[in-house]
Amino acid sequence: MRFLGSISVFLWVLSASAAQAPANPTAAFRQYCFGCHAKTAAGGINLEQLTAGASVGEHFQQWQKVASALEQKRMPPAKMPQLSDAQRTAAITWIRSSIQDHARRTAGDPGRVTMRRLTSGEYAYTVRDLTGLDYKLDRDFVSDSVGGEGFTNFGDVQFLDDANLERYLAAAKSIASHAVVGAGPLRFYDDPGKSGMELSAIHRIQEIYTANGFRAAAGEGAKPYGLERYARAFHGAWRYQHRAALGDAKATLASIAKSEDISLRFLEHIRSVLDQPAPTYPMSEVVARFRKFPAPGSPDAANAARKASEQLQKFLIDWPRMLFAAGELAAGGQGDERALVLTEASVEAKPKNRYRFFLFQRGRTGEQKPPRIVLMMVN
């Protein structure tokens, strides 16, 4: 009951406030004022446009002139039909209260603020705050204009022409030449030329390769990295193949790739290879091993599939590396630095060169012996 009583009091106050709100005097203006203050806009006041506006505050200066003219009874002119005292009082009250309401609603709002550039002094202070050094670059800038208020940061007079923009850019390049960009924090030095751009570029390239690439092995002490992406891709392909049995029928390659922390394109490639109906050797061996992965219904299928993916990754990486002598682990550590790239073209067995041999062998006394040919096949 107390709650309902509070609502009743609130509604009563609201209705009382609405009843006390002054009426809009547009009808009175139309009758007594529009004849001179509409299309002709006598004295620069167009009441027809003012009353059609959304807010009194948009043209409050003109509304104040209207209110003053009504209060001093200068308008309408003496020989023209006049508003009644009640109409005049109501119009004045409506204008004054509307302006006050607008002032309360927009208190603290600076109004239109012109976007401006930094002054020469502000630019120099900003550079000093960022670098800790005073480069005295503002001497090359055009002097700042002073507005009517006597301030150099008055936006309406802060123009920026092409020539001054070029000076700002030249100053920025000069500041950048003092920076040392490396793996550590950004530093600035008094003397330019100590830039770490090469080190920074190498560091960024290494980060890109580490985040997105992989390498089996290489010479000069380089170590493998990123190979676990193969295992995650195999496991992701297994999850997608058995998504319904795993209780995730709505899973997509994109969602699985995200959960496995691999790129969607890489997972799509691995799946397209594993889905080949009749792959050639050696890819047929990889596909055959993948098809022997445990079914989802077997005990602990998820962990078993993960281990099988890791074993398949090891098989995929190790034996071609030895076969093609690619990488430091090949040929007893005497391999080169070629990247391990397996395609049907790189492993296809077909003659590419022709060799000519003399199929005979001379003895010590000049007699001929039958030739001996040894063919070796590495498996």
Instruction: Give SS3 for 97.
Output: helix
Other Cβ atoms closer than 10 A to 243: 18
pLDDT(252) > 90 = yes
Question: Is the pLDDT at 11 greater than 50, yes or no?
Answer: no
Q: From the CB of residue 325, how many other CB atoms can be counted at a distance below 10 Å? A: 14
Mean pLDDT, to the nearest integer, of 22-30?
A: 78
Q: How far apart are CA 282 and CA 347, in angstroms?
A: 7
On the question of pLDDT at 377 being above 60, the answer is: no
Instruction: State CA 143 to chain mean position distance.
Output: 37
What pLDDT score was predicted for residue 20?
Answer: 57
Q: Which helix (H) or strand (E) holds 346?
A: helix 344-347
Average pLDDT over residues 358-378: 58
Burial label for 247, CB within 10 Å (0-12, 13-18, 19+), is exposed
Task: Express as a percent the part of the chain with pLDDT over 90.
Answer: 14
Average pLDDT over all residues of the chain: 74
The pLDDT value recorded for residue 48 is 78
Strand 187-188 and strand 361-362: the pairing is: unpaired
Give residue 357's pLDDT: 58
Residue 262 CB neighbours (<10 A) = 22
Q: C-alpha 219: how far from its chain's center?
A: 38
| pLDDT confidence bin for 191, thresholds 50/70/90 | low
Taking 90 as the threshold, does the pLDDT of residue 257 lie above it? yes
pLDDT of residue 201: 67
pLDDT given at position 87: 86
pLDDT, position 311:
93
Find the helix packing angle between 228-241 and 283-291, rounded to 10°: 50
The DSSP code sequence of 172-214 is HHHHHTTEE-SSS--EE-SSTT---HHHHHHHHHHHHHHHH--
pLDDT, tens only, 112-164: 777 777 887 788 888 888 888 777 776 667 677 666 666 777 776 777 778 87
- 230 or 329: whose pLDDT is higher? 230
Tell me the per-residue pLDDT of 321-330, one tens digit each, with 9 for 90 and over.
666 555 544 4
208 falls in which pLDDT band (50, 70, 90)?
Answer: confident
- Cα distance between residue 8 and residue 12, in whole Å: 6
Q: What is the mean pLDDT of residues 247-263?
A: 92
Q: Which of the 8 DSSP states describes residue 117? A: P
Q: How confident is the model at residue 355 (pLDDT cuts 50, 70, 90)?
A: low
Q: pLDDT band at 184, cuts 50/70/90? A: low
Q: Name the one residue in this structure whose structure tokens are 């090359």.
A: 140
pLDDT of residue 331: 43
Instruction: List phi, psi (to 5°) of 28.
Output: -65, -40
- When pLDDT is averaged across residues 278-288 and rounded to a whole number, the result is 85
Q: Please give the pLDDT value at position 61.
A: 83
**Which of the two residues, 240 and 86, has the higher pLDDT score?**
240
pLDDT of residue 197: 60
**Residue 113, SS3?**
coil
